[in-house]
Structure 1
Amino acid sequence: MKKIVILISGRGSNMEAIVQACAAGGWPARIAAVISNRPEAAGLQFAKDHGIATSVVDHRQHPDRASFDAALAEAIDGYAPDLVVLAGFMRILTTGFVDRYAGRLLNIHPSLLPCFPGLNTHKQALDAGVKLHGATVHFVTPELDHGPIVIQAALDVLPLDTPESLAVRLLDCEHLIYPRAVRWFVEGRLQVQNGVVHVNPAEPQLLMAISAGVPAAGAKP
């Protein structure tokens, strides 16, 4: 039985999707804890309501990034997780922290990486005039918003799209691909070879959505 720790900074809608998919799908795993860097994060209440342990490591109580990361790692290691999942965790992590959890640290980014790393990804996509936009689940490496790609979701950019509308349409896709990636990990099905992630047995690692923003038929975590 694998143990998962999820890190959030706010509502944690991807955390909710993972918790629900784990319970519904009978994964060989349990959510050991949800940890936030903000005591006011709404997702903490969701976790408590589902009987999941919660913890807060407030970054504002630490003088620098290194000391915060050390305190965060101590909190995480108290649950001895097999996997650490960043679900809207809005902190840039130090190289030491990332190396500590190498190969067992996942993140989701709202773009088709390697395009548009960093913030304001939906605006970046619109400004670039791309016709496809999406989200990426990847293993975390010290380079920001890089690392081996586990799964992506793509949707077409509509003529009247705004950054806000893209964010809303993409969220449904995020809620499908992130649980799927986590499930593959806990089932021991992910292999990284020369920086490329393979799923064994193979499953599609790209989800395409239609214009209305509804995931393609048959898509599920």
Structure 2
Amino acid sequence: MSMAEKARVAVLISGRGSNMAALIYAARATDCPYKIVLVSGDKPDAPGLALAESEGVRVVRFPSPTVATKTQFFNDLNRVLREASAEYVVLAGFMRIVPDAFVAAWHGRMLNIHPSLLPNYRGLHTHSAALDAGDAHAGCTVHLVTAELDGGPILAQTKVAILPGDTVASLEERVRIAEHQLLPRALAAYVSRERDPE
């Protein structure tokens, strides 16, 4: 497939961007149905932005939004996404509640990776919640973003066994490996399905 036919994906991050990196590297496969056209986020000094730049991906930095500038931030973000002709947006460790207007603007085209087996443990502190509950498995979920926090349609999940003696840190590390496998695959399946005339 030619680069012109590939779906144009933007990635939003807040931190080191390991899931973003997984997408960038997956996109280098000739048969990958998407390409990463832009990386941005809510922290101009996020390590992941420097990584994306080093890998030759376009980065746009914005000042961290405050309560007063949050609406402007999301308006500016939407503008640069449109200017980059992004067709899909992936939230890869983007630690902001996305306002309803932004969600509506990208309806059916914004995906999120969440470190639990949704609908279990929406929001934060998912690993400690799974450990505290005595669950046999934790895991991760890729879902479409809707106005309901971590409540959109589930596209894919991977289970991760909880081992005896697991801590939040040790569980988080294994779940992150699963995330790096799941997100590129789920995104590829979704954009292929969206673009398939059948």
Q: TM-score, normalised by structure 2?
A: 0.91
Select which of 8, 16, 19 maps to 2:13.
8
Q: For 1:1-221, list aligned pairs within 5 A.
A: 1=5, 2-60=7-65, 63-188=68-193
Structure 2 portions without partners, runs of 5+: none
Structure 1 pair 116–185 and aligned structure 2 pair: CA distance change class (3 A): same
Secondary structure of residue in 1 paired with 2:39: strand
Offset at residue 189 of structure 1 (A): 5.5
Q: Distance in 2 between matches of 1:116 and 1:61?
A: 27
> In proportion to residue count, which structure has more helix?
2
- Given that 2:37 and 2:84 are in contact with CA atoms closer than 8 Å, whether structure 1 keeps it comes out as yes
Offset at residue 157 of structure 1 (A): 1.1
Structure 1 portions without partners, runs of 5+: 192-200, 202-221
Q: CA RMSD in A?
A: 1.8
Q: Distance in 2 between matches of 1:185 and 1:158?
A: 32
Partner amino acid for 1:15? M
- Given that 1:184 and 1:190 are in contact with CA atoms closer than 8 Å, whether structure 2 keeps it comes out as no
Offset at residue 187 of structure 1 (A): 1.7
- Given that 1:62 and 1:68 are in contact with CA atoms closer than 8 Å, whether structure 2 keeps it comes out as no
Offset at residue 61 of structure 1 (A): 5.7
Task: Name the count of aligned residue pairs.
Answer: 192
